[in-house]
Amino acid sequence: MAPARALRRIAFLLEWNGASPYRVRAFHTAADAVADLPPGPVDAARARQLPGVGPVTSEVIAQASAGTTPSYLARLLAEAGPAAADAWQLAAAAQGDCHLHSDWSDGGHPIEAMARAARTLGHQWAVLTDHSPRLTIAHGLSPERLRRQLDVVAAWNGAAAEHGPFRLLTGIECDILEDGSLDQDPELLARLDLVVASVHSKLRADPEPMTARLLAAVRNPRTDVLGHCTGRIVTGRGRPPSRFDAEAVFTACAESGTAVEINCRPERRDPPDDLLRLAADAGCLFAVDTDAHAPDQLHWYTSGYARAAHLALTPARLITTWPYPRLLAWTSRPDT
């Protein structure tokens, strides 16, 4: 097992066991650090010199690079049992990611870098979802800039021989305004492959107006995915989740065919476990999304699949396991 794969498998198992986001992130950071190492054994002392590699991860790297299963991984596998192995297979079914950002809004890397990273990860597709105009702090895309971005994505996909079967899909993370409408021209939303709709303002509104706001958004035929539905932050100083009638919102998602996002950012892990179960019981579809703002964050998807597996969700209910022709057929549902 290659060191990077061993480290990511450990990160997945830690997530499966409910470890803290900081602990999980440490193994992903180490996996990123070993990506460019040449094949062959690497001793622990040398591994410790890599950025973000500590005493535990350096031992994992040394053992994996020598051709043995790292003892740390072996212990986690034994403790986790067959259910975790099934969960890992669910993560292996991932085909794409519905939520990532580039430097056209608040991401830190060009569109091309994000697309290449998704392709290298083994995804068959990814949706570029930079922010909409109202989120000025994140350099949200005006209609004119979004039109230019559509041309850039088309040109990138036009180099089909270079990119193989991978396809970069057009999209947006569209602000849900206070009245529940979407923050972009309807004509442009109709041109996009997929729309993620999220609340970024007035997150502490009273439950009644927040519920009305979310209901209007998820019932909008242009909304495909409800992004990070509570807006909570669970690390650092944190931010409490928004309050709303979750049963009503998830019932509306199920009825309208709007997927609920399982946001994989370590500081979000949104929705919380109780709401995730409520959405599953309501019959919702789900999108396991990284909300990545940098190439290395695309690896976070495994944490979302660990959460999905705990609820026994199948690939049929996870739109991020679908091949992109099926995804595109779904987002252009004729009944909307």
Taking only the tens place, the pLDDT of each residue in 276-322 is 999 999 999 999 999 999 998 998 999 899 999 999 999 999 999 99
Q: Which residue, of 28, 56, 80, is where some domain finishes?
A: 80
Distance CA 197, CA 224 (A): 8
Q: How many domains does the chain have?
A: 2
Distance CA 274, CA 192 (A): 32
> Is residue 162's pLDDT more than 80?
no
3-class secondary structure, 128: strand
* Across 102-111, 158-167, 249-258, 311-320, least confident range: 158-167
Q: Which residues contact 198 (CB under 8 A, 6 or more apart)?
A: 173, 174, 175, 176, 226, 227, 228, 231
Average pLDDT over residues 170-195: 97
| Same structural domain, 215 and 97 | yes
Contact 244/31 with Cβ under 8 angstroms?
no
Distance CA 57, CA 48 (A): 8
| Same structural domain, 195 and 106 | yes
Position 49 in a domain: yes
State pLDDT tens for residues 56-94.
999 999 999 999 999 999 999 999 888 899 999 999 999
User: Two tokens at 204?
Assistant: 């502490």
* CA Rg value for the chain: 20
Strands (E), the chain: 96-100, 125-128, 167-175, 194-198, 225-226, 259-263, 286-289
Q: What is the DSSP letter of 292?
A: B
∠ CA(107), CA(113), CA(116), 5° rounding? 130
Contact 132/139 with Cβ under 8 angstroms?
no
Per-residue pLDDT, 288: 98
| Same structural domain, 46 and 107 | no
Domain that holds residue 70: 3-80
> Is residue 109's pLDDT more than 60?
yes
For residue 61, give the CATH number of its domain.
Answer: 1.10.150.110
Q: Which residues contact 185 (CB under 8 A, 6 or more apart)?
A: 143
The whole-chain average pLDDT of the chain stands at 94
Distance CA 65, CA 43 (A): 8
> Is residue 160's pLDDT more than 80?
no
> Is residue 161's pLDDT more than 80?
no
Q: What percent of the chain has pLDDT over 70?
A: 98
Per-residue pLDDT, 266: 87
Strands 225-226 and 259-263: parallel
CA 239 and chain centroid, separation:
20
Distance CA 74, CA 6 (A): 10
> Is residue 336's pLDDT more than 50?
no
Instruction: Single out the residue of 327, 249, 247, 325 nearest to residue 288, CA to CA.
Output: 327
> Is residue 213's pLDDT more than 90?
yes
| Same structural domain, 149 and 185 | yes
| Same structural domain, 127 and 183 | yes
Q: Which residue, of 21, 56, 80, is where some domain finishes?
A: 80
Instruction: Single out the residue of 69, 78, 76, 92 nearest to residue 1, CA to CA.
Output: 69
Position 336 in a domain: no
How many other C-beta atoms are found inside a 10 Å radius of the C-beta of residue 282? 18
| Same structural domain, 217 and 309 | yes
Q: Which residue has the tokens 């990611």?
A: 97
| Same structural domain, 41 and 129 | no
Distance CA 168, CA 15 (A): 28
Position 148 in a domain: yes
| Same structural domain, 259 and 119 | yes
